[in-house]
Amino acid sequence: MDDFKHYTVMLNEAVDALECEKGKIYVDCTLGGGGHSELILKRISPNGRLISFDIDDEAIRHAKERLKDYSNLTIIKSSYTNIKAELQKLGIEKITGGVILDLGASYHQLTKAERGFSFSKEAPLDMRFDMESNFSAYDVVNTYSEDELVRIFSEYGEERFSKNIARNICIERKKAEIQTTAQLVKIIENSIPKSKQNNGHPAKRTFQAIRIEVNNEIEPLYETVLKCIKALKKDGRLCIITFHSLEDRAVKKAYIEAEGRCTCPKDLPYCVCGATSYGKMVNKKPIIATKEEQEENSRSKSAKLRIFERRKEGGESSWLNTNTEQALEN
11-104+218-263+275-313 to CATH, choices 3.40.50.150, 3.50.50.60, 3.30.465.10, 3.40.630.30: 3.40.50.150
Residue 143: its H or E element: helix 137-143
**Between the CA of residue 287 and those of 122, 217, 223, 253, what are the distances in Å?**
35, 22, 23, 17
Cβ atoms 298, 200 nearer than 8 A: no
Q: pLDDT tens digits, the chain, 330 residues: what are they?
A: 456 667 899 999 999 999 999 999 999 999 999 999 999 999 999 999 999 999 999 999 999 999 999 999 999 999 999 999 999 999 999 999 999 999 988 878 888 889 999 998 899 999 999 999 999 999 999 999 999 999 999 999 999 999 999 999 999 999 999 999 999 999 999 999 998 887 789 999 999 999 999 999 999 999 999 999 999 999 999 999 999 999 999 999 999 999 998 778 888 877 787 788 999 999 989 999 999 999 998 889 999 999 999 997 766 544 344 443 443 233
pLDDT of residue 4: 62
Strand order in the sheet with 279-281: 73-77, 49-54, 25-28, 98-102, 237-242, 304-310, 279-281
Q: Give the residue from 139, 131, 94, 133 showing the smallest Cα distance to 115.
A: 131
Measured between its terminal Cα atoms, the distance across the chain in Å is 60
**Which is it for the CA torsion 21, 27, 30, 31, positive or negative?**
positive
pLDDT of residue 322: 45
Q: What is the rounded CA–CA span in Å between residue 169 and residue 40?
A: 45
Q: What is the rounded CA–CA span in Å between residue 31 and residue 51?
A: 9
Q: What is the rounded CA–CA span in Å between residue 113 and residue 122?
A: 7
Q: How are beta strands 316-317 and 276-277 bridged, if at all?
A: antiparallel
Q: What is the rounded CA–CA span in Å between residue 124 and residue 117?
A: 9
- In 220-263, at which residue ranges do the beta strands (DSSP E only) sit? 237-242
Strand partners, 51: 27, 74
Show contacts of 124-127: CB within 8 Å, 24+ apart: 124/179, 124/180, 124/181, 125/178, 125/179, 125/180, 125/181, 125/184, 127/207, 127/210, 127/211, 127/214, 127/215
pLDDT of residue 321: 45
Amino acid at 199: N
pLDDT of residue 269: 79
Q: 3-state secondary structure string, 64-120?
A: HHHCCCCCCEEEEECCHHHHHHHHHHCCCCCECCEEEEECCCCHHHHHCHHHCCCCC
For residue 68, which phi and psi values (nearest 5 degrees)? -65, -20
**What SS3 state is found at 25?**
strand
Predicted TM-score (pTM) of this structure: 0.88
Domain 117-215 grouped into CATH 3.40.50.720: no
pLDDT of residue 267: 85
Q: Give the residue from 110, 144, 149 showing the smallest Cα distance to 127.
A: 110
Residue ranges per domain, the chain? 11-104+218-263+275-313, 117-215
pLDDT of residue 5: 67
pLDDT of residue 272: 83
Q: Give the residue from 187, 14, 9, 38 showing the smallest Cα distance to 110.
A: 9
Cβ atoms 317, 276 nearer than 8 A: yes
pLDDT of residue 133: 96
Q: What is the rounded CA–CA span in Å between residue 84 and residue 253?
A: 20
